[in-house]
């Protein structure tokens, strides 16, 4: 199925979805997740994560391409990495599985770059401290 700018995608309680981009990068939606395809330009795709958990692999993105994921409290800008984003109860969380991701607070405008094995979350107060996590457990 082809998705267009403005399309909503929602998974049910026992379902998931995989969105594949033309450059072979993938965005996996876990159960009870909802997104909006916000934009799809030649060198940048923007997905708005309304609620839920998602996993993305953008390792194969072509040079100078990017994927931005907007959440309720944070924004992740990704180039060539694997990561997990979660958005629930007014908290936006990022976990970097491989590579690095820039994560910013929508409230304060503060940005941090996270590397493999690091996690952070943003809430209505801004960004919390970067912490470590076990990549094998995700």
Domains of the chain by range and CATH? Answer: 8-132 (2.60.120.1440)
DSSP conformation letters of 38-58: EEE-SSEEEEEEEEEEEEEE-
* CA distances, 14 to each of 11, 29, 95 (Å): 8, 11, 23
Cα separation of 47 and 85, whole Å? 12
Phi, psi of 2 (to 5 degrees): -85, 135
Say how many C-beta atoms besides its own lie within 10 A of residue 84's C-beta. Answer: 18
Q: How confident is the model at residue 109 (pLDDT cuts 50, 70, 90)?
A: very high
Q: What is the pLDDT of residue 61?
A: 47
Q: What is the pLDDT of residue 86?
A: 87
pTM of the model: 0.65
Cα separation of 128 and 18, whole Å? 30
Q: What are the counts of helices (DSSP H) followed by strands (DSSP E) for the chain?
A: 0, 14
Task: Output DSSP code: residue 33.
Answer: -
Average pLDDT over residues 22-36: 83
Say how many C-beta atoms besides its own lie within 10 A of residue 85's C-beta. Answer: 25
Q: Which of 10-14, 47-51, 88-92, 101-105 has the lowest mean pLDDT?
A: 47-51
């Amino acid at each position: 199925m082809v998705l267009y700018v403005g399309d909503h995608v929602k998974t049910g309680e026992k379902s998931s979805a995989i969105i594949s981009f033309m450059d072979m990068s993938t965005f996996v939606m876990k159960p009870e997740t909802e997104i909006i395809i916000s934009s799809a330009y030649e060198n940048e795709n923007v997905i708005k994560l309304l609620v839920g958990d998602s996993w993305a692999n953008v390792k194969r993105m072509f040079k100078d391409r990017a994927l931005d994921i907007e959440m309720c409290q944070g924004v992740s800008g990704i180039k060539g990495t694997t990561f997990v984003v979660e958005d629930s109860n007014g908290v936006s969380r990022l976990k970097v599985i491989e590579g690095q991701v820039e994560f910013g607070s929508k409230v304060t405008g503060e940005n941090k770059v996270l590397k493999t094995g690091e996690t952070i979350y943003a809430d209505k107060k801004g960004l919390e401290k970067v912490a470590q996590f076990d990549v094998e457990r995700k």
